[in-house]
Amino acid sequence: MKQKRELVGQPHPQCFFSEFPAESDWDAVIIGAGPNGLITAAYLARAGLRVAIVERRYEVGGGLATEEILYPGFYSNMHAIYHLMVDFMPAIKDFDMERHGLVWIKPNLQTAMVFGDGGSLLLTRMIEDTMDSFHKYSDKDAVAFGKLMRNWRRIVSEILAPATYIPAMPPIDLTVAMQRTDIGREMLELVEQSPLDIINNHFENDRIRAFLLYISCMWGLDPRETGIGFYVPLLIDRGMNKCYLHGGSHKLAGALSREIVRAGGTILESSDVIKINRHNGSVTGVELMEGRTLNSDVVISSLDPHTTFFDLMDKNKLPTDLKDSVERWKYDKWSFNTVHVVSKEAPHYACEDQWVDESFMTIFGFESTKQLLAHWDNVVAGKIDKNSLGGHATCESFLDSHLVRKPGHISFFQMHAPYGIDGGWDKRGPEIMEAMLAKWAKAAPNMKRENIVMAKQETPKDIEIRFPNMRRGSIKHGDYTPIQMGCFRPNEACSNHSTPIKGLYLCGASTYPGGLVLGGPGYLAANRVAEDLGVKKWWKPTKEMERYIKTYLT
Amino acid sequence: MSRDERYDVVIIGGGPNGMTTAAYLSKCGLSVCVLEERVECGGACETVEPIPGVRIYPHAMLMYASPAPGFEQLELHKYGFRMVWNPEDMMRSLTAGNTTTQGVTRITEKDAMGFAKLGGLLGQPPFTRELMRATFWCPPHPPEVEVTDENTPYMQVYKKYQPDVCTPELRDWTMFELMDEFCESEPFKVTMAFAAWASGAAGHWEGVAIPALLSVQLLILPNTGKLSIPRGGLHGYFHAIHRCAVAHGAVVRTACPVEEIIVQDGRAMGVRLRETAAIGGRKIWANKAVIAAVDYKQTFLKMIGREHLDPSFIQKVKDISLKNGTLYVSTYHTRKPIQWNKKFKAMQESETGVAGPAKVASGGVYPSDSRELYYENVADCDARKSLPTLPPEKLMWFLTPSQAFNPTDCQGRYREGYISAAFEVNVPVPEYQIEGIDAQDKEKAKLDAYMRKAFSQALDGLEDENIIHLWSATGREVEFRNTGLIGGTWCGSRHCRDQSWTRRPMPELARYRTPIEGLYTCHQTTGHPGGLCLMAIPYNLMHILIEDSIAEPGKWWYPSPYYIPQKEKVSAIPR
């Protein structure tokens, strides 16, 4: 590797102190300090590379944001809160996050769905509690769930979860590999079915169907689409194992940023990258809006495809295939509209089973599969029916008293919502917030005006303003469809985290395996860069990954 | 198995003082743990995005620290420290004039030259940095040393470079008296005195003329007439300090409030975390020192058991005055920009603030007519301690430089309208407020309307139909967000003569030591020079920690040239 100049402070001609210089040299520059950018930077910095990571916002973390947007002293998790992959994410083990005082809570009662008649369904960490709640409606479904999860849990822990951190394979190779085991073949059968088919085939009771369908599709699957069915076991199993990070999601970003700095890396916030520099087709660094240049033969972008390839580079100098694929890229089919509230009392649901009040996530507003599907169809069509909406809520302070510094509670109610809503968010926002609060008060009668001290709505447009690379409010930087998943995310040429442009790598949610704080793209990009540069990896695959490699790939 | 942790030094509080101390001590090779109550460090160096695309600074927003040795000693440039230069912004408010009820009045040459002279700018060569460092970046003298004109650091600097400033009265004067000597126009003096009141040491206080005047100068002169802020606001500056600490090995624990400082046989042994802490109520032990980088109330009245402190000490702690600029801050989001009205055309024409055709009003003190008016405001706030009794036309306010002045500083992506500069009004310390501690909170709507009327005396654009949002914060809301900003005061305890230098906040605590062995303080409420995010308390504290053989810095360390070592201690001056 080339010798890099030492970082020398730049004095201002009439000033008492020095600043970070106008030009500096790096082994790798990472664009965007969301979870994936931070993970890539942390691995590479500890591997001995001189790493700089540039973030537009004033604080690192991207969606890992825990901020005071309501009253001072009340913290809301603005974005990511349900950490699905804590059990498997290599970064958590490799960086020994416990050392940083990170503590994840995994409550047994993970998700509840409440109905207008006081009935409820539960999804729990311990399977018997889920089955018990199903027994209220259907013995057959309760038994079926127990049986189904025997293999589905294995499909997740032995295949899908470890594969998240192993480079994408072409479908044909994957199919051949999966033939080796029973659960592999079962997984392949699921792929070809739609979430709706899978749920309907296994369960008879409509409430149970609606419940499991919500959990399977809530992160952006089309319930009727085939080719993505493997997500159903993954999201149900992970839906039983969500974790909450005590002190708020931002703590993970803080810990990762300290890992980067401890290993000699540099973090620059409040800096917009405006250009990826190229010379003779290879990248040579980035330019910041403030006028600084960071030189590096390796640039790793965690941004969405449009920003990386079209905004930061000359679109017309891209290979045609790459340009076409970016133009075809589809953002998430729906975004989220979230109402954050401070209330005097925690939500108390009108429900026979009082345990529901302790649930990490509570779904309400839907009485049937039909109603749920109608809501999603509306959302995809750019509409929201105020009389028939629903979503999920979490009382954050119930799990984490640290988020509130005087008496009161902090919660949110989140619903699937279109980015391009009929009439526009500026106009429709207030009435939709009212409708959501009314719906919440119906499910949890104490969430009335007199209990709510303050409420604030974050629309899909707001998501995009806060986090511009979540274009159209796309929390995953791009839709989950068969042609945008696996080795097609974001396209065949880039899904292995390198690109046709020499020195340019991708590490964000629009690249395999995708979004939702999996930490997959960031980990895989670090691996790819380390391999390409011939840097010795200080880390080893997790034991789940090793088992997967042994079973399916060797 | 015990999950307790052990370090050389445990620092309570991850604000600018705690973190700078962590950076200094970890650079000395000590193992350091910083315990922060909130989910992110930074204390008052905070940037928030209350609605998407709108970034505001709820507390610290201006850069006072530029002469600090910390930039050099901690090499902050390596950790991403950058500025957003805003040429001439403050220069223009200095040259445009003073805003009085009669319109803009001229700043005379005598005003400007007198002010510049006191700030060390007219010396050959200019001695601003040395003067500033002597005043703020030097630990108070040891108790056995009598403070005299000869050994007062700023007096020594003036004697060396500008001897005519040194008079026998200088150390007794108020800032008004000092300006009466060196400047001439009343509105100029009132403007500066009011700016000093909002910066921590008021223009009418006895015996703090130089520190008060220099606290205003810190804002202007070290940046050579350019009112500039760090990239990302003071939080960006804090990031560089935080990362320096982490790069040298400091362990930072967020969401870990401290419940108790563990004292055994009169010595601080460590701390016990509150049960709600992210890692539970475990104990964190300190081999060498516990440093309380939190306010004096939490330190002495909450975290230490009463049995460890004597009643006279506790009484003195309770008596520390908080009257030090509890600021009621308002920031507006408006459809059309807020601008100076016709009467203040000269101000509007000189605006350099926001890029683009429509300039937002910024940088001013109104009304600066006379010190009688100033005293009426003081009387309302600190004497009557009541909700405002003055008519809004008489309320004095400070309009900060524009908060969104540089488009490369990223956050100005709000969908529509303009963000105003922050308006600051001095209000009573809530706990002294005669109508009750929560009076400001209860009357917030009325206060907002009253202040809007006051601001409208000089500005257009504050009509109902023009306002999209208003963020305002009462003293208690400030404290609520940032526990250490007790009383909502911006610089902690009063920087009056009886609470400054060798008496800050009381003689027993002046050298950052406490009655508890091994416990040191490091907070704007408890040490010289006080607030403004200067990296000064940590630098000054370093001298003391060297004296006590806790810190042994490398070659990068240099002490204050005006420092006097304590008898029978290790000197902080390298041999």
Please give the Cα distance from A319 to A313 (Å, whole number).
Answer: 12
Within an 8 Å CB–CB cutoff, is residue A16 touching chain B? yes
Among the partner residues A59, A258, A462, nearest to B252 by beta-carbon distance: A258
The single-letter code of the amino acid at B551 is A
The answer to whether the Cβ–Cβ distance between A101 and B222 falls below 8 Å is no
Closest-CA residue of chain B to A52: B80
Q: How many CB pairs under 8 A join A and B?
A: 175
Reduced 3-state DSSP string for B155-176 = HHHHHHHCHHHCCCCHHHCCHH
Model confidence at B62, pLDDT cuts 50, 70, 90, reads confident
| Whether pLDDT at B408 is above 70 | no
The answer to whether the Cβ–Cβ distance between A19 and B410 falls below 8 Å is no
Q: Is B372 exposed, middle or buried (0-12, 13-18, 19+ CB in 10 A)?
A: exposed
Model confidence at B411, pLDDT cuts 50, 70, 90, reads low
Q: Which residues pair with A83 in a beta bridge?
A: A243
Reduced 3-state DSSP string for B366-417 = ECCCCHHHHHHHHHHHHHCCCCCCCCHHHCCEEECCCCCCCHHHCCCCCCCC
* B87-116: average pLDDT: 82
- Which two tokens mark B268? 């601080």
Among the partner residues B66, B231, B232, nearest to A16 by beta-carbon distance: B66
Task: Please compute Rg for chain B using Cα positions.
Answer: 23
Return the pLDDT at B222. 46
Please give the Cα distance from B12 to B37 (Å, whole number).
Answer: 9
| Whether pLDDT at B58 is above 70 | yes
Contacts of A20 in chain B (CB under 8 A): 77-78, 80-82
Closest-CA residue of chain B to A53: B80
Name the B residues in 19-48 with CB < 8 Å from any A CB.
39-40, 47-48
Whether residue B35 contacts residue B258, with contact meaning beta carbons closer than 8 Å, is answered with yes
Q: Of all helices (H) and strands (E), which one includes residue A187?
A: helix A182-191
Whether residue B143 contacts residue B502, with contact meaning beta carbons closer than 8 Å, is answered with yes
* B164-168: average pLDDT: 93
Which of A222, A171, A181, A223 has its CA nearest to residue A200? A223
Closest-CA residue of chain A to B413: A465
Within an 8 Å CB–CB cutoff, is residue B556 touching chain A? no
Share of chain B above pLDDT 70, in %: 93
DSSP string, B194-239: HHHHHHTS-TT-TT-HHHHHHHHHHHHGGGTT---EETTTHHHHHH
Q: What is the distance of C-alpha B6 from the center of its chain?
A: 32
Within an 8 Å CB–CB cutoff, is residue A427 touching chain B? no
Return the pLDDT at B355. 45
- Which two tokens mark A214? 């919500």
Question: What is the CATH number that goes with domain A10-64+247-327+480-553?
Answer: 3.50.50.60
Residue for token digits 């403004």?
B532
Among the partner residues A9, A10, A21, nearest to B75 by beta-carbon distance: A9
Whether residue B220 contacts residue B233, with contact meaning beta carbons closer than 8 Å, is answered with no
B162 to each of B90, B155, B170, B211, how far by Cα in Å? 25, 10, 13, 17
Domains along the sequence of chain B with CATH: 5-50+233-321+494-547 (3.50.50.60), 89-101+110-223 (no CATH), 325-488 (no CATH)
The answer to whether the Cβ–Cβ distance between A59 and B235 falls below 8 Å is yes
Return the pLDDT at B84. 83
| Whether pLDDT at B320 is above 60 | yes
Quote the DSSP letter at residue A59: S
Whether residue A47 contacts residue A537, with contact meaning beta carbons closer than 8 Å, is answered with yes
Within an 8 Å CB–CB cutoff, is residue A261 touching chain B? yes
* Positions of chain A with pLDDT under 70: 1-3, 13-14
The answer to whether the Cβ–Cβ distance between A268 and B409 falls below 8 Å is no
Contacts of A461 in chain B (CB under 8 A): 52
Share of chain B above pLDDT 90, in %: 75
Return the pLDDT at B1. 40
Task: Please compute Rg for chain A using Cα positions.
Answer: 23
| Whether pLDDT at B224 is above 50 | no
| Whether pLDDT at B2 is above 80 | no
The model's pTM: 0.96
Sign of CA pseudo-dihedral B362, B366, B370, B372: negative
Among the partner residues A58, A250, A264, nearest to B55 by beta-carbon distance: A58
Which of A254, A232, A160, A169 has its CA nearest to residue A545? A160
Contacts of A463 in chain B (CB under 8 A): 52
Among the partner residues B72, B77, B414, nearest to A20 by beta-carbon distance: B77
Please give the Cα distance from B28 to B521 (Å, whole number).
Answer: 19
Return the pLDDT at A135. 98
Model confidence at B164, pLDDT cuts 50, 70, 90, reads very high
* Out of A425-439, B83-97, B436-450, B500-514, least confident range: B83-97
Whether residue A435 contacts residue A450, with contact meaning beta carbons closer than 8 Å, is answered with no
Q: Which residues pair with A123 in a beta bridge?
A: A111
Q: Which of A16, A403, A454 to mutate to test binding with chain B, by most B CBs within 10 Å of its CB?
A: A16
Peptide bond into B529 cis (omega under 30): yes
The answer to whether the Cβ–Cβ distance between B40 and A66 falls below 8 Å is yes
Within an 8 Å CB–CB cutoff, is residue B546 touching chain A? no
Give the tens place of pLDDT for each residue, B267-299.
Answer: 999 999 999 888 888 999 999 999 999 999 999
Q: Under DSSP, is residue A296 helix (H, G, I), strand (E, B) or coil?
A: strand
* B22-31: average pLDDT: 98
Return the pLDDT at A11. 81
Among the partner residues B49, B84, B278, nearest to A246 by beta-carbon distance: B278
The answer to whether the Cβ–Cβ distance between A17 and B477 falls below 8 Å is no
Quote the DSSP letter at residue B77: G
Looking at the complex, report in whole angstroms how far the Cα of residue B300 sits from the nearest Cα belonging to chain A.
21
